[in-house]
């Protein structure tokens, strides 16, 4: 996918996450759209856009909303690397595999983010973070299904098929 479209998706995702997702919460927990985009662009698409834009928007997210600068960027970077590695073992055409990758990425992201913040004197215990994990996994799975249906469905095309007559949207 072209970098301009990817940048546009990440900008829209960041704006949605920081404004509209505050109204869609369950017990104060909101889905992470940037994480869904990092997983999608690292797992489904070829290239390294998930890594690059994950680091950039992780830094922007930390600058805007966090006391520490860097934990979200490092977490997105490591999640994107993990998704690129998982892509070799799972079929990226299946929505079930994308959901499995999203669940793994959500747990890894929040564990890394909690670990870094605890290392630098964070006050949240592991029990407090783990308490809302089930709700967070459900919300991120729903967000991932929506993002995959909007963006990811058109990612998997097979132009080498002799009967392929689809048009390129990107």
CA pair distance 67, 57, nearest whole angstrom:
16
Residue 128 CA, distance from chain mean position: 22
Give 152's contacts (C-beta < 8 A, 6+ positions apart): 40, 44, 98
The topology under which CATH files domain 3-154 is Arp2/3 complex 21 kDa subunit ARPC3 (1.10.1760)
Q: Which residue has the higher pLDDT, 150 or 168?
A: 150
Grade residue 170 by pLDDT with cuts at 50, 70 and 90.
very low
Query: Considering the entire predicted model, what is its pTM?
Result: 0.86
């Amino acid at each position: 996918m072209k970098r301009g479209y990817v940048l546009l998706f990440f900008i829209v995702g960041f704006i949605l996450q920081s404004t509209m997702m505050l109204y869609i919460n369950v017990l104060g927990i909101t889905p992470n759209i940037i994480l869904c985009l990092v997983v999608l662009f690292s797992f489904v698409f070829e290239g390294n856009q998930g890594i690059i834009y994950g680091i950039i928007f992780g830094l922007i997210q930390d600058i805007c909303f966090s006391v520490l600068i860097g934990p979200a960027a490092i977490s997105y970077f490591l999640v994107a690397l993990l998704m690129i590695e998982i892509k070799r073992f799972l079929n990226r055409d299946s929505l079930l595999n994308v959901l499995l990758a999203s669940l793994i990425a959500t747990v890894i992201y929040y564990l890394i983010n909690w670990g870094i913040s605890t290392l630098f004197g964070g006050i949240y215990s592991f029990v407090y973070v783990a308490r809302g994990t089930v709700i967070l996994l459900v919300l991120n799975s729903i967000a991932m299904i929506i993002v995959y249906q909007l963006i990811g469905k058109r990612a998997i095309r097979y132009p080498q098929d002799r009967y392929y007559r689809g048009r390129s949207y990107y």
